[in-house]
Structure 1
Amino acid sequence: MLTISAIPAFNDNYIWCIADPHRHNALIVDPGQAQPVLDHLAQQGLTLTVILITHHHPDHVGGVKALRETYPDCRIIGPADSPFKGSTNPIHPGDTALWEGITFTSMAVPGHTLDHIAFFTDDTSITGRPLLFAGDTLFVSGCGRLFEGTPAQMRQSLESLRQLPDNTAVYCAHEYTLANLRFARSWLPQSSALAEFEQQCEQARANNTATVPSTLAQEKRLNLFLRWDDPDVIRVAESYAGEHKLPINCPDDVFAAIRHSKDHFRG
């Protein structure tokens, strides 16, 4: 049976490893550092055969060169139109990547960066449900900063992810959950659902347990950045936009107000 593990890196990154214990092969997602991956592979007796890359930022690709030197036959699958030029198998949105009989479909999700892609599979043999590697596009109760794209691009990217099955397991690349929830609670302080989830996540972190993965159903219910059409969120966005002289005429504007507020949040 295939397994999936989080390899902690830097201060708050997760490098994801899918392993086939019977064939001793491994797939790695977004290796920003090589040594934690090398240590994990050695401990588990695994050979790295595929690396998936979601975007070009150093904390996602910084370990690729060293890993390829150790595993020269490893395929590196990443966005074709990207500042990252280390892919052996560059792919375009809609293309697929195959590993151990599992097909991952590449989805264009520009916003955080323009080259950003996500990898989705409806194969349930890994976790018992569909699986999404979202990189820095969709976090637990948050989304990535807009370093290169526009609010409209990011909202449209998140809209495409919002259309995936509700039971999809969402594997993002950072442990940002508690900070995201503090912000969400500042917008919706009366939300008992957010308060309860925050308590659960605080307990998980106190026990050194990851808050990732979440599910798409949970994100649609709690994540402000997927709720640009929620009346409660719209009301707060309209108030915030008025205070900061921002336009508020369409869903893109609502999303932009949420993102602007998070970017300036000091809670």
Structure 2
Amino acid sequence: MLEKKNEFTIYPITVLQDNIVWVWVHNCNAVVVDPSISGPVEKWLLEKNLSLKAILQTHHHDDHIGGTQKLIKRWPKAKVIASKKELKRIPFQTFSVGDNDVFHLMDSEIKVIEVHGHTNNHIAFYISKATTKYNILFPGDTLFGAGCGRLLEGTPIQMFESLYKLNSLPENTKIYSAHEYTENNLKWALTLEPENISIFERLKLVQNKLKNGKSSLPSTLSEERKTNLFLKAENVEDFTLLRRHKDCWKC
């Protein structure tokens, strides 16, 4: 069931193998983040009698934009908000944004943060004045539970700088990552820091959530600072070694 309709709430829709499409609901409106496919999202919105107000796109990969065009056919007034640097790869965007741009949506102020590394033109959306005690971050594939995105187009220094930006946000920021990778990332981290109690305890909590059919997300920045080895990297060299190690690690 939905919360009271005058409250700010975010719901997960799990699709494909491990993607999470986040749906931000306020009153009778909804904002969808990175819809991989349209079917489950459209069904969910219709069942809850919600109107799609906007779609937030963090980057151009098909498992993040694959459902957008069908959704805007169903709700043609919905804005598609994406990086102005991705007009070619996200050509159906209707509201183009850049680094540090601020816009308002659903009674909240949203800041755009460029976080290159996973792709050349990746953005995150940061909500600092929502009707909730937490700040909200939609980082796409830049920051995961206990992990970060692979460097598919960008460089280690770009990702290191992007993570530094996100790590500078308030510690009570809730992080709504786009993939359910937390368990895998924590298992990897524990092989490097086997005596780290914070990682061990978080892994147990995450495994219990997953066992009961719940998502491990959102996490908080405070939690990530204790258990995310990429955020703990002190320099680009350390980060690069960690990223290479994770890329080659097999569960």
Question: What TM-score comes out, normalization by structure 1 length?
Answer: 0.89
CA RMSD of aligned residues (A): 0.9
The one-letter code matched in structure 2 to 1:253 is E
Report whether the alignment pairs 1:221 with 2:212: no
Report whether the alignment pairs 1:176 with 2:196: no
- CA shift, 1:13, in A, is 0.8
Hey, what does 1:37 align to over in structure 2? Answer: 41
* Deviation per residue, 1:138-176 (Å, 9 max, x gap): 000000000000000000000000000000001100000
Decide which of 50, 57, 60 is 1:56's aligned counterpart.
60
Report whether the alignment pairs 1:120 with 2:120: no
Identity within the alignment, %: 37
Report whether the alignment pairs 1:191 with 2:189: no
Hey, what does 1:71 align to over in structure 2? Answer: 75
The one-letter code matched in structure 2 to 1:46 is L
Q: How does 1:87-102 map to 2 (within 5 A)?
A: 87-102=93-108
Partner secondary structure for residue 25 of structure 2: strand
Contact persistence 2:79–2:95 (CA under 8 A): yes
After superposing on structure 2, the runs of 4+ consecutive aligned residues of structure 1 that deviate more than 3 Å are none
Report whether the alignment pairs 1:206 with 2:190: no
* Deviation per residue, 1:76-130 (Å, 9 max, x gap): 00011012212101111111232122111000000000110000011241x4210
The one-letter code matched in structure 1 to 2:155 is T
1: CA distance, partners of 2:78 / 2:181: 30
2: CA distance, partners of 1:160 / 1:114: 16
Hey, what does 2:153 align to over in structure 1? Answer: 148
* Deviation per residue, 1:4-31 (Å, 9 max, x gap): 111111111111111123xx11111101
Partner secondary structure for residue 176 of structure 2: strand
The one-letter code matched in structure 1 to 2:193 is L
Name structure 2 gaps, 5 residues minimum: 1-6
- CA shift, 1:255, in A, is 0.2
* Deviation per residue, 1:31-73 (Å, 9 max, x gap): 1110111011011100101110000000000001100110111
2: CA distance, partners of 1:146 / 1:92: 21
The one-letter code matched in structure 2 to 1:138 is L
Contact persistence 1:77–1:97 (CA under 8 A): no
Partner secondary structure for residue 90 of structure 1: strand
- CA shift, 1:211, in A, is 0.5
Name structure 1 gaps, 5 residues minimum: 230-250
- CA shift, 1:2, in A, is 2.0
2: CA distance, partners of 1:196 / 1:89: 42
2: CA distance, partners of 1:98 / 1:34: 25
Hey, what does 1:256 align to over in structure 2? Answer: 240
Partner secondary structure for residue 107 of structure 1: strand
Hey, what does 1:19 align to over in structure 2? Answer: 25
* Deviation per residue, 1:194-219 (Å, 9 max, x gap): 11111111111000111100000111
Hey, what does 1:234 align to over in structure 2? Answer: none
The one-letter code matched in structure 1 to 2:245 is S
1: CA distance, partners of 2:141 / 2:150: 8
